[in-house]
Structure 1
Amino acid sequence: MYSIHPIEALKQQLDALSDSAQKGFIRLSTPCQVGNLMGWLNVQSVYPRLYWQSREAGAVEYAALGAVKAFGSLAALQADLATLADLGGEQPDYFGGMAFDTNTPGWQHFPGCHFLLPRIELRRQQTGVTLSLNLRFDDRCPEAEIAQARSCLAALEAEQPLPHLLPHIYQREDRPSQQEWAASVVQITNPDHLAHTPKVVLSRETYLTTSETPSPWALLARWQAGAADCFHFGVQLTPHEAFIGCPPEQLYKREGRHLTTEALAGTTRRGRDAQQDQGLANELLADKKNSLENQCVYQQLLTQLEPLSSHFHMGEAHIVKLRSVQHIRRLIHAELRSDVSDQQLLSVLPPTPAVGGVPRESALAFIRHHERHRRGWYAGVFGRISHTSSDLSVAIRCAHIGPEAIRLYAGAGIVAGSQPGEEWRELDTKIADIMSLLGMG
């Protein structure tokens, strides 16, 4: 046990700040003991509530509360990054996301772009858990900033066990229906359409209504336990809605000037045993339709990265094995030009060809015209940005949770050779993990 309670330790550090003029960003930190970060998040009354963990083994686990500052545009976020970098000292992490298509109406409480500098951060690293309080003094009244920080600290609650996932009865509706889906696949694979748009990623919203939805943090914790080698995220901007996910796909990771991204496209199921599993993987790598789908993605990424990079390198195609599916993946490494920012990368890279299509604009035009559901942040971006490094996922394998409904999303790349029935079954495979947690698998 610690000799002083972590919240009291932060209050004492905050008292020491009051007597001197402060400037820029300050993070006050103290060690603490928390067993389950999502169990801690679930009982807090402060919003927004946010969770993030990258997919690398041993990655830092973040839980965040409140907002010192929030940003509704990439330009505003980049300006704040630059301001604090010029001041020097410790640099903050910003968390948030973007919609799939910021030019169309999205979800009601999820803006097209929303990143925030959290007030409270809980971080678990291999060395232990740290509780931090973030403050900004450059453009606000110091007394008001300290008062807001005190108020947030006073509202913190102790961690409690997550509630059990109780069985619920769900009514399911797929949007589009399988018949409507088949008609769209036929239209995309028509030779005349393929001539100008060789790939469109069609999505489906599976709408599950119930009298009461489960705790999003309890659901995410259970989902995370079976989703190794994936990113894990959750966000509640308001008490009534949550967006959670365990996506396998990285938009990009930036360490200084070095950038890593990937072409993750082409899918098959997992086998019943190791021999069948490997056979399915070999068939996937050899399959012309799936290879074409992956090729569309990496060629587009290379085209987008070329003007931003001094040089880049693409790896060989290999298989990524997840719990229910296998994908073809190619890694791309690039050295960015010295003037390239996260704002430029996020203005250029998403939506990737793996979730939109090729060419981007004609694929998006088809999606806007034919998809009746709103993708919102599904297939958008979610992750962490800082001055020195950034780590962002493509927000697939996700769920939007409201008070009376859960909306699940899945997509499939439609290219020459796509068959409507096979692509529809692929959608079911992609939501199989979350459906089984809800008792519908």
Structure 2
Amino acid sequence: MHSTHPIEALKHQLGLLGATAGKGFIRLSTPCQVDSLVGWLNVQSMLPRLYWQSRDVGAVEYAALGAVKAFDSLAALQADLAALAEIGVEQPDYFGGSAFDPTTPGWEHFPACYFLLPRFELKRHQGKATLSLNLRFDDRCPEAEIAQARACLAALEKEQPLPRLLPQVYQREDRPSPNEWAGWVAKATTPSHLAHTPKVVLSRETCLTTAEPPSPWALLARWQRGAAECFHFGIQLTPRAAFIGCPPERLYQREGRRLITEALAGTTHRVRDTQQDQALAAELLADKKNSLENQCVYQQLLAQLEPLSQHAQMGEAHIVKLRSVQHIRRLIHATLHRHVTDQQLLSVLPPTPAVGGVPRASALAFIRQHERHQRGWYAGVFGRISHASSELAVAIRCAHIGSEAIRLYAGAGIVAGSQPEEEWRELDTKMADIMSLLGMG
């Protein structure tokens, strides 16, 4: 941020608010100039820090800092949404995510579910940036809330250039090993197992140990430059632990009662030659094994949406081309019944068969029995929720960055016809972009 004028403007607005503060939620906003929202987040000392941008062209870019209020359950978040809607004031945006499997041990410093109403929102849309200060007066003393907001304003730092990503030496360890992976795939593709679990998504954790991991925000900034067709997110709850990612898969987008979700499953690599790349895409669409993977996803999504919606329509299969891979995708449009909430959607839809399997219970049982690494928020959900609209991504193509290591994650859908070596190579392909940025490509 180029000057302190936006901060002074917010201080002035806060001073005018004083004892006239109303009930519920209040957002004070002022225009500002910023080069990099991620760079602004990186220099702040306040926590938590969060970044979010949808994959749509021209999507709003959000940087969230601090927390007016945080929620460790979907029920608590939905209760807050309902309380503010009843008051009838301006409605805020909440940001956050949840783990793949909340019933199992997760990552240190990452709750099974965490959503926040940020103290500050730095938002950019169509080249114009706005800095907002959020306040709540429905459940706290107005004088104390204003005093805390003043202290937070005083703690804001000016934007600084992001640090350079310097070459590092990494020690790599894959969990599982290739031999263990082959054993898992063999078990998952036996006729007796396929009879009750036609698809299970198995994952690999690639742990890169190093003396000095890079800045998560500098790494995210570099990563998102080559991930135009993807969501971009980052969250840092403590100084030494962060979770970042550029996932291609949308869990759902909701505008009022209109909902869009998708079946994104079935993968092949990309090549430089345009004709060969198109041939690979055509082979992917025609491939029985990959078509079965995608079918498992869309059939379950349609079944889950049936009791929640008036009708759901599925589009034709098409190819989505990313930097290193291409996927089969089918879009699903639905009109939700009145009063269906995000809590209900998030209680039903994740984990989708694209990251868990079919049927869900037996696929998760297989994953819990065999995977020794903790998935944590990998393959969970991440995004933005509000009363009027919400959008959440499936948290794949991601990195968990700690004080001594970077942990990367990728998964592969195991169905009839899956071969261990091919699926292992698919994991490498899905990690190729971030591995290249780390000098491990």
Does the TM-score normalized on the shorter chain lie above 0.5? yes
- One-letter identity of the residue aligned with 1:315: G
* Residue 328 of structure 2 is aligned to residue 344 of structure 1: no
Distance in 2 (CA, whole Å) between partners of 1:273 and 1:307 is: 46
- Aligned partner of 1:60 in structure 2 is 60
Distance in 2 (CA, whole Å) between partners of 1:3 and 1:105 is: 44
- Aligned partner of 1:424 in structure 2 is 424
- SS of 1:19's equivalent? helix
- Aligned partner of 1:142 in structure 2 is 142
Q: Which moved more, 1:84-93 or 1:354-363?
A: 84-93
- SS of 2:376's equivalent? coil
Distance in 2 (CA, whole Å) between partners of 1:371 and 1:303 is: 28
- One-letter identity of the residue aligned with 1:266: G
- Cα distance, 1:127 vs structure 2: 5.0
* Paired residues for 1:366-385 under 5 Å: 366-385=366-385
Distance in 2 (CA, whole Å) between partners of 1:272 and 1:52 is: 30
- Aligned partner of 1:217 in structure 2 is 217
- Aligned partner of 1:206 in structure 2 is 206
- Aligned partner of 1:69 in structure 2 is 69
Q: Is the CA contact 2:2–2:34 (under 8 Å) kept in the aligned structure 1? A: no
- Aligned partner of 1:155 in structure 2 is 155
Q: Is the CA contact 2:4–2:158 (under 8 Å) kept in the aligned structure 1? A: no
Distance in 2 (CA, whole Å) between partners of 1:22 and 1:384 is: 25
> Any idea what the Cα deviations from partners look like across 1:6-63, whole Å, max 9, x if unmatched?
0000000000111314210000000001110111000000000000000000000000
* Residue 10 of structure 2 is aligned to residue 10 of structure 1: yes
- Aligned partner of 2:192 in structure 1 is 192
* Residue 178 of structure 2 is aligned to residue 170 of structure 1: no
- Cα distance, 1:3 vs structure 2: 10
Distance in 2 (CA, whole Å) between partners of 1:144 and 1:179 is: 59
- Aligned partner of 2:49 in structure 1 is 49
Flag the 1:17–1:256 CA change in 2: closer, same or farther, 3 A.
same
Distance in 2 (CA, whole Å) between partners of 1:176 and 1:105 is: 18
- Cα distance, 1:339 vs structure 2: 1.7
- One-letter identity of the residue aligned with 2:257: R
How many residues align structurally?
Answer: 441
> Any idea what the Cα deviations from partners look like across 1:322-341, whole Å, max 9, x if unmatched?
00000000000000000210
Q: Is the CA contact 2:121–2:133 (under 8 Å) kept in the aligned structure 1? A: yes
Q: Is the CA contact 2:59–2:125 (under 8 Å) kept in the aligned structure 1? A: yes
* Residue 410 of structure 2 is aligned to residue 410 of structure 1: yes
Consecutive unaligned residues of structure 2, counting only runs of 5 or more, are none
Distance in 2 (CA, whole Å) between partners of 1:198 and 1:139 is: 49
- Cα distance, 1:88 vs structure 2: 1.3
> Any idea what the Cα deviations from partners look like across 1:73-124, whole Å, max 9, x if unmatched?
0000000000111111211000000000001010011000000000001000
Q: Is the CA contact 2:19–2:142 (under 8 Å) kept in the aligned structure 1? A: no
* Residue 227 of structure 2 is aligned to residue 239 of structure 1: no
- Cα distance, 1:396 vs structure 2: 0.1
Superposed CA RMSD: 1.1
- Aligned partner of 1:310 in structure 2 is 310
Flag the 1:180–1:133 CA change in 2: closer, same or farther, 3 A.
same
Consecutive unaligned residues of structure 1, counting only runs of 5 or more, are none
- One-letter identity of the residue aligned with 1:237: L
- Aligned partner of 1:261 in structure 2 is 261
- Aligned partner of 2:229 in structure 1 is 229
- Aligned partner of 1:395 in structure 2 is 395
* Paired residues for 1:111-122 under 5 Å: 111-122=111-122
Distance in 2 (CA, whole Å) between partners of 1:76 and 1:14 is: 28
- Cα distance, 1:252 vs structure 2: 0.2
- One-letter identity of the residue aligned with 1:428: D
- One-letter identity of the residue aligned with 1:367: I
Q: Is the CA contact 2:64–2:119 (under 8 Å) kept in the aligned structure 1? A: yes
- SS of 2:20's equivalent? coil
> Any idea what the Cα deviations from partners look like across 1:380-426, whole Å, max 9, x if unmatched?
00000000000000000000000110000000000000000000000
Flag the 1:358–1:49 CA change in 2: closer, same or farther, 3 A.
same
* Residue 296 of structure 2 is aligned to residue 296 of structure 1: yes
Distance in 2 (CA, whole Å) between partners of 1:20 and 1:292 is: 61
- One-letter identity of the residue aligned with 2:397: R
- Aligned partner of 1:287 in structure 2 is 287
Distance in 1 (CA, whole Å) between partners of 2:270 and 2:393 is: 23
- Aligned partner of 1:93 in structure 2 is 93
- SS of 2:203's equivalent? strand
- One-letter identity of the residue aligned with 2:300: Q
- Cα distance, 1:272 vs structure 2: 2.5
Distance in 2 (CA, whole Å) between partners of 1:126 and 1:378 is: 31
Distance in 1 (CA, whole Å) between partners of 2:302 and 2:241 is: 37
- Cα distance, 1:166 vs structure 2: 0.1
- SS of 2:19's equivalent? coil
Q: Which aligned runs of 4 or more in structure 1 are off by greater than 6 angstroms? A: 1-4
- Aligned partner of 2:33 in structure 1 is 33
Q: Which moved more, 1:15-24 or 1:321-330?
A: 15-24
- Aligned partner of 1:358 in structure 2 is 358
Distance in 2 (CA, whole Å) between partners of 1:171 and 1:316 is: 44
Over the matched positions of the two proteins, sequence identity in percent amounts to 81
- SS of 1:340's equivalent? coil
